[in-house]
Amino acid sequence: MQFFAAQGKESLVAAALEASMRSVRLCGANASAFDLEEHQRWCAEAVKERVVLKVCAPEARGAYLQKHTTYLVAQELHQEGVRRRFRDFEWLRVVLHARYVGLLVPSLPEKTTTAAVLKNDAFLQSRMRALQHFLNDIMQSPYLRSDAAVASFLGEPGDEATWEAMRKGTAVMENAGEGHMRWLQRIMCEHIASSPETEISVFKRHVEQRERLLGELAACAKRLADKSAAMAKDVSTLHAIFAGWQLAETGTGTFEARNDGPLVSLLDKSTATTCGWSQVENFQPAIFELLLLENIKYMLHQATGMKQMLMERERAIAGESSPERKPSPPPSESPASPPTSGFSVASFTSVASSAASRFMSAVEPPSLSVEEQQRRAHHTSELITRALMAEEMQRFRSETTKTLEHVMDHFSCAEAQLTKRSGSVWREYLKTSPVDPQTLAQSTKELLDSASTSNNSPTSSAANAF
């Protein structure tokens, strides 16, 4: 992305901050006419039309160092869309984060540059799901979905030059759409208590605790996914061994010609049962990965994003009272050196250093005055504070609850179906067992009891399952 690389994230954020300050002044004229009830009705109406986006069809483009993957972004049930690469998604998030100061923008998956990982199909599928989650969360926000940058991201299918122009035109704007103006009006009209620090400090502690616990959950879910994948592989191997034994015992003769008919019959049944078991176990890694791990990681990223926003607010408050000052480098005097007609390392280093200094002075923006730094810091801290008190603290809490409920509902449903299918596999085997079910259950319980007693296990006995 030439524009994003050339202008740079920091320059874009700085320009967006200046535009945000002008936007606040633009909204100030209409502050007296703000009606909270009307605003809430507008928010509900803005997201009334359900828009579901899909990210699919990865396609490798470019060659050598320019090689990258693009993804098709389209509405659900639509075949046509636009192609975007990961850096385009990054650009969109940077723009929205810089423009909507104080609003927790949806998270992106981690960036990976390892070639072997990027070629992995499972990685591509996981990344597409995460990018899809990012876009659909944007479409659920009444403020973000109508933003000019979002519209250009979704609606410009032209060539790279056209898309480059659209990025330049929508990256920094004083008025990026009705949602942008509505967001600023909402937070600027929020009544702030004389000292909101106590409430925000308590909220920050809750966010930090939530981030820690979600990190532990994500690590545990990752272990479960890895272990279930290993389990599925071992069960598949077990089935293959039973199948091999069955073939070895069967040979090439007819049923009557077999040496051990009862054993072969038992192997037939055991092979069929382990085949069904293997099929069931093959579903488990995907359930852990898709329904548990990926959703918990997204919740973790959102918690981390909220913590970073709170830290940004603290830095801005500190900057209001003591803005950063760039220390001026002490003047350096180069000792006179005798002229030389040949090459010397010292002379080359001196020339290179001088050229580098001239280059940096040309591209580095001039340092801001103390007053300007304080003005920017005050703007940032005020907007984040207003956003937290107006909507974002409550929205963060409710979104966490909503997402966790969504995760556990789907995870529980999948596990219940898997348990049902697994149970049917074993019940089918037991139907043909010559042993009475009650007697078999009692003897199995006794075996498990004796095993737990001999091992002196501190955990509850497996026999308690009976």
Q: CA–CA distance from 216 to each of 63, 206, 219, 271, 307 (Å)?
A: 40, 15, 5, 39, 17
Query: What is the DSSP secondary-structure string of 16-49?
Result: HHHHHHHHHHHHHTTGGG--HHHHHHHHHHHTTS
Same domain, 393 and 310: yes
Same domain, 211 and 109: no
Q: Mean per-residue pLDDT for 321-339?
A: 53
Closest CA to 373 of 326, 324, 328, 327: 324
Which position has the higher pLDDT, 277 or 458?
Answer: 277
Q: What's 421's domain CATH number?
A: 1.20.1270.60
**Distance between CA 32 and CA 28 in Å, rounded?**
8
Tokens 């090459």, residue located = 343
Closest CA to 129 of 79, 57, 54: 54
The backbone torsions φ and ψ at residue 83, rounded to the nearest 5 degrees and listed phi first, read -100, 130
| Domains of the chain: total | 2
pLDDT tens-digit series, residues 64-95: 667 888 999 999 877 788 999 999 999 999 99
Same domain, 161 and 300: no
Closest CA to 67 of 26, 111, 113, 10: 113
**Distance between CA 241 and CA 261 in Å, rounded?**
19
Same domain, 212 and 165: no
Q: Mean per-residue pLDDT for 348-355?
A: 45
Q: How many residues does the structure list for the chain?
A: 466
**Distance between CA 84 and CA 336 in Å, rounded?**
56
pLDDT of residue 357: 46
Asked if residue 27 belongs to a domain, the reply is yes
Same domain, 304 and 406: yes
Asked if residue 357 belongs to a domain, the reply is no
pLDDT tens-digit series, residues 93-139: 999 999 999 999 999 998 876 655 666 888 899 999 999 999 999 99
- State the helix-helix crossing angle for 9-28 and 86-99, rounded to 10 degrees: 40
pLDDT of residue 167: 86
> Band of the pLDDT at 401, cuts 50, 70, 90?
very high
Asked if residue 441 belongs to a domain, the reply is no
**Residue at a domain's end among 167, 189, 211:** 189
Same domain, 177 and 210: no
pLDDT of residue 445: 87
pLDDT of residue 11: 83
Cβ–Cβ contacts within 10 Å for residue 29, how many? 8
Asked if residue 455 belongs to a domain, the reply is no
Same domain, 184 and 204: no
Asked if residue 440 belongs to a domain, the reply is no
Which position has the higher pLDDT, 321 or 297?
Answer: 297
Same domain, 159 and 249: no
Same domain, 92 and 144: yes
Asked if residue 81 belongs to a domain, the reply is yes
Instruction: Give yes or no for residue 393 having a pLDDT over 50.
Output: yes
pLDDT of residue 352: 43
pLDDT of residue 454: 56
Contact 276, 426 (CB under 8 A): no
**Residue at a domain's end among 156, 189, 222:** 189
pLDDT of residue 428: 94
State the residue range of the domain holding 126. Answer: 6-189
**Residue at a domain's end among 145, 162, 189:** 189
Q: Which of 48-57, 203-212, 248-257, 301-310 has the lowest mean pLDDT?
A: 248-257
pLDDT of residue 338: 45
Q: Which of 216-230, 318-332, 366-380 has the lowest mean pLDDT?
A: 318-332
Asked if residue 257 belongs to a domain, the reply is yes
Same domain, 20 and 66: yes
How many H helices and E strands in the chain?
A: 16, 3
CA dihedral for 217, 219, 221, 227, sign (positive or negative)? negative
pLDDT of residue 325: 56
Cβ–Cβ contacts within 10 Å for residue 114, how many? 9
Same domain, 88 and 56: yes
- State the helix-helix crossing angle for 160-170 and 148-155, rounded to 10 degrees: 170
pLDDT of residue 351: 43
Same domain, 216 and 182: no
Asked if residue 332 belongs to a domain, the reply is no
Q: What's 124's domain CATH number?
A: 3.30.1520.10
Residues in contact with 461: Cβ distance below 8 Å, sequence separation at least 6, in sequence order: 448, 449, 452
**Four-point Cα dihedral 92, 94, 97, 98, nearest 10:** -120
